Structure 1
Amino acid sequence: MAAAGKGPDVIVIGAGVVGLSAAIAAAARGLSVTVLDREGPAAGASAGNAGAFAFTDILPLASPGILRKAPRWLIDPLGPLTVPPAYALRIAPWMFRFWRACSPRRVAHSTRAQTALMDLSKAELEPFLAQTGTVPMLRKDGNLQVYEGEAEFEASLSGWKAREEHGIEFRHLDAAGMAEIQPGLAPRFTHGTFTPGWYSIADPKLYTLALADHFRATGGVIGRAEVTALRPAEDAVEVLAADGKGRRAAQVVLAAGAFSHRIARTIGERIPLETERGYNTTLPADAFDLRTQVTFGDHGFVVTRLATGIRVGGAVELGGLELPPNFRRSEAMLAKAQAFLPGLKPQGGVKWMGFRPSLPDSLPAIGRARATPRVVYAFGHGHLGLTQSAGTARIVADLLTGQTTGQAPAIDIAPFSPQRF
C-alpha cells in the first residue's frame, strides 16, 4: 500500500471497460488504485459497442481478405470501410503499416498472439464476473454469421479452417438450419455459420458502470480529470492534467482508449494508434425477435440483442478524433438491416458514434513504456476491448506486481509490445 501523502500505488488513466477491469484486478492484489477519466465511467466506446465477448474472433482485421474487399468497400462513402477525404493524407502512414501487416507471415503471427489473448480472456472472464457481482449480465446465445450465396460462403472457409485449427467450435448451416436458430432472415442469405462459444453482455454501458460501482465499493477512487501528460520521476510518475492539480503514483496504467497515444507521446513514445469511428442505432427491445447476434460480414455490421434494445452497428470509418460524426452511416446500416431482417421495426432508434482505438496489426499495446517501467500501456484493442478486458486486466496486474513478486505475465506479451513498431 502507498504511504500517506505520497499518492496511490497506481493511477489508471481511463474509465472504460479495460481501465476499470485493470483497476479492479490491481486492487485485488492489494494495491491502492485511483482511476482518472476525462468524462467519467463508460463515456466512450465502452458504452456503445455491440456487447460481444467475441472469443472466436481470432483473425486480425489486417488480413488478405480485407485487402480483397477494401477496394469495393471504399468506393461506397457509406459502406463498411471508408476514409473521409479530409483525413486521407493524415492516415496514409497508418494504412501503409496496415497493408504490411496483411502479409501471410504477419497474419499467422498476429493470429497466434490473438488466440493466446483470447484464451486467457475467456478463462479469466467468469471468475472476474463472479468477483464483481456481474455474472447475471452474461449471455451465451452464440453468433450467426450469414452469407449471400455460395461464393461468399466459400470465401469464408479459410478463416473457419484457421479457427478449427485453434479448437474453436462452429457449424455450417443451410437456410433451414439458420431459420431454426434465427427466424426472419431474408431469403438472400443462403448459408451461415453458427459459433456457440460467442458470449455477450446484457448491456456494455451498464456492465461498465457496474464495474465502476464495484471498484468504488471496494475502496477504489474514480476522479474526473483530462490527463495531458506524464512525467517520470525517480520513484513515481507525475500525472499532469488540464485542471492544474498535481497527482503522482508509484505506477501508472495508460488505458485511455483512442486518446492514449497523445499521452504516450509526452514521454517520448510515438505509437501509431488510429481511430476507427464506429456507428450504431439502438432500437426499442421489441423491434425484432432476435435470438442470437447476427453478423452480416460482407456488409460490415452486426445486429445484437441487448437488455436495453436491439443494436444495429459496426463498420469502420478511419476519420480520427476531430471530424464531426456522419450519422448517414448509421442510417445506411439501419436501412440494410431492414432489408436483411424484413420484420425489423426501424422506429424509435437512438444513434451513436464512438472511437475504437486501433493499431495497424490489429493487436493491442500491452506492456511497459520505453521511458520508464513505472508506466504500463493497455490500449489499442480495436473492436475487441470488451472481449479482451479481463485477460488484459490479468496481464496488467501481473506487470504491476511482478517486480516485487517475480511473477511473469500469464502469457507471452512480446507480440503486444508497445515498441514493436
Structure 2
Amino acid sequence: MKTGIEPGVVVIGAGVVGLSAAIAAQARGLAVTVLEREAPAAGASAGNAGAFAFTDILPLASPGILRKAPKWLLDPLGPLSVPPSYALQIAPWMFRFWRACSARRVAHSTAAQTALMDLSRAELEPFLGATGTLAMLRKEGNLQVYESQAELNAALPGWKAREAHGIEFRHMDAAEMAAIQPGLAPRFTHGTFTPGWYSIADPKLYTLALADHFRAKGGRIERAEVLGLRPVEGGVEITTADGGTRRVEKVVLAAGAFSHQVARTLGESIPLETERGYNTTLPSDAFDLRTQVTFGGHGFVVTRLSTGIRVGGAVELGGLKLPPNFRRSEAMLEKAKAFLPGLKPAGGVQWMGFRPSLPDSLPAIGRARATPDVVYAFGHGHLGLTQSAGTARLVADLVTGRPTAIDIAPFSPQRF
C-alpha cells in the first residue's frame, strides 16, 4: 500500500446503483466505504416505480418520442415538459437528444441496452439471494394499455423490436385485459401484457436492506458531500464539503444526478441532465391492482407496492435547483382516477426525485479519462433499479481488473 493511501474502494453514492456496486466489490474481497451526501435511499432510489423493467430495451431517445414531443411539450403538466425558466440551459442536451433519435443511433442504443438488460436479469436473483432480499421480488408482469387500435398499431414497431430480442408478450382485447386487471375504464380497448416484467416490494425498503447487508459484511457508510476528485500517485484524492481530504486506492462515482458535477473536477464534461420524476403513493387499499399498469400515451404507471399504490412517472427536464411542481403529481392522480374508476385517491403522499439521464438513454459505465482508478456508474435514467445488479457486476469487474461481463464500449463516459 502506498503511504497515506487507504486500501480498497470508496463508492460515492448510497442509492441502489452505488450500494449494489459496493456489495459486488465487497464480495470480491475488497474493503469498501460508501460516502453519501444525505442518507441511503434518499434520492431516486426511494420513490421510483419499483420495476425491474428488463423488457424496456428501447431508448427514450427515439423517432417515436420525437413525434409525440411537440404535443406533449405544449402541456405543462403532460408526460414531457421543460419549465420555461430552464429551456435555454437544457438546449444543448436537447440537441444531443435529437441527434440520438436517428435510426442508426437508436439501433446502436437498443443493442447496448439489451445487452445490459440481459446481464442485469441474469445477475438479479443471485444478487438478491446473496443479500437476503429475494423474498422482496415479485413477478406480476406489466400491462401496457391503449385507447384505440391506432394507438396499438403505432406501438407495434417497438414490440417487433422486443420480439426480435426474444421478449415474451401478448396483445389483448378489453376482455382479455379485464381477466388480468379488472377495473380498467372502457376507454382502453387494447393492451399488451409482458409477463417477464418483475418488480420489488418497495424500492426504498429494498435499498435500505442493501445498506444493512453491506454494513453487516463490514462495510462503512459515512455521510459526506464529495466536491472533487484528483488523481494522485497510487490512487485518488477526495475532497469533501467540510474541507477534508482523503486518499484512496480506487473510487466508484455513483452519485446519481450529481455525478457530473464531481466528474467535472477530473476535467470531464458529461452531459448529464435530470428527469424530475413525480408520484403519489396511496394507501394499499386504494385499488385492487394485480399487475403494474402502464398508461404509455399519458406517460405514467400505477404500481402495487408493499407500502401502497404508487401513481407516478412523466418527465420534467428541470435540473436540480427549481422547486418541485406537485401539480404534476396531482394531474397524474386525476388521470388515474378516470382510468381506474374504482381508485380511492385519498391519503396519498407526494414525492419528487431526480433521475440522472444522458441524451442517448444509456448510462455512463467505465473508467475516467484522467485516471483508471476512478470508475463511473451513473446516468441510468428511469432504469437505475432495473440495471443495478448488472452495473454492479461491471463495476466489480473494473475495480478488480477483470474482463467485463459484456462489452462496455457503448457506455463509455467519453462517448460524447
* Structure 2 equivalent of residue 238 of structure 1: 237
DSSP-derived class of the 1:322 partner: coil
8 Å CA contact 1:49, 1:204 repeated in 2:
yes
* Structure 1 equivalent of residue 293 of structure 2: 294
Distance in 2 (CA, whole Å) between partners of 1:107 and 1:337 is 31
8 Å CA contact 1:367, 1:417 repeated in 2:
yes
* Structure 2 equivalent of residue 80 of structure 1: 79
* Structure 2 equivalent of residue 412 of structure 1: 407
Shift of 1:40: 1.3
Which amino acid letter does the alignment assign opposite residue 372 of structure 2?
P
Shift of 1:249: 1.1
* Structure 2 equivalent of residue 130 of structure 1: 129
DSSP-derived class of the 2:177 partner: helix
Distance in 1 (CA, whole Å) between partners of 2:220 and 2:141 is 36
Distance in 2 (CA, whole Å) between partners of 1:42 and 1:401 is 26
* Structure 2 equivalent of residue 401 of structure 1: 400
TM-score normalized with structure 2 length? 0.99
Matches within 5 A, 1:51-62: 51-62=50-61
8 Å CA contact 1:8, 1:248 repeated in 2:
no
Distance in 2 (CA, whole Å) between partners of 1:44 and 1:158 is 34
Distance in 2 (CA, whole Å) between partners of 1:45 and 1:247 is 27
8 Å CA contact 2:4, 2:247 repeated in 1:
no
Distance in 1 (CA, whole Å) between partners of 2:384 and 2:214 is 19
Matches within 5 A, 1:206-355: 206-355=205-354
* Structure 2 equivalent of residue 150 of structure 1: 149
DSSP-derived class of the 1:41 partner: coil
Shift of 1:5: 6.1
Shift of 1:243: 1.4
Distance in 1 (CA, whole Å) between partners of 2:88 and 2:229 is 29
Shift of 1:186: 0.1
Which stretches in structure 1 are left out of the alignment for 5+ residues? Answer: none
Shift of 1:245: 2.2
8 Å CA contact 1:8, 1:34 repeated in 2:
no
8 Å CA contact 1:302, 1:313 repeated in 2:
yes
8 Å CA contact 2:5, 2:234 repeated in 1:
no
Matches within 5 A, 1:29-68: 29-68=28-67
Shift of 1:383: 0.5
Shift of 1:6: 3.3
Shift of 1:4: 9.3
Shift of 1:346: 0.3
Which amino acid letter does the alignment assign opposite residue 354 of structure 2?
F
Distance in 1 (CA, whole Å) between partners of 2:145 and 2:82 is 26
DSSP-derived class of the 1:410 partner: coil
Distance in 2 (CA, whole Å) between partners of 1:55 and 1:105 is 22
DSSP-derived class of the 1:197 partner: coil
Which stretches in structure 2 are left out of the alignment for 5+ residues? Answer: none
Distance in 1 (CA, whole Å) between partners of 2:237 and 2:41 is 25
8 Å CA contact 2:5, 2:235 repeated in 1:
no
The RMSD of aligned alpha carbons is: 0.9
Indicate the percent of aligned positions where both proteins have the same amino acid: 84
TM-score normalized with structure 1 length? 0.98
Shift of 1:204: 0.1
> 1:127-174, CA deviations, whole angstroms, 9 ceiling, x for partnerless residues?
000000000000000000000011101000000000000000000000
More off after superposition, 237-246 vs 223-232: 237-246
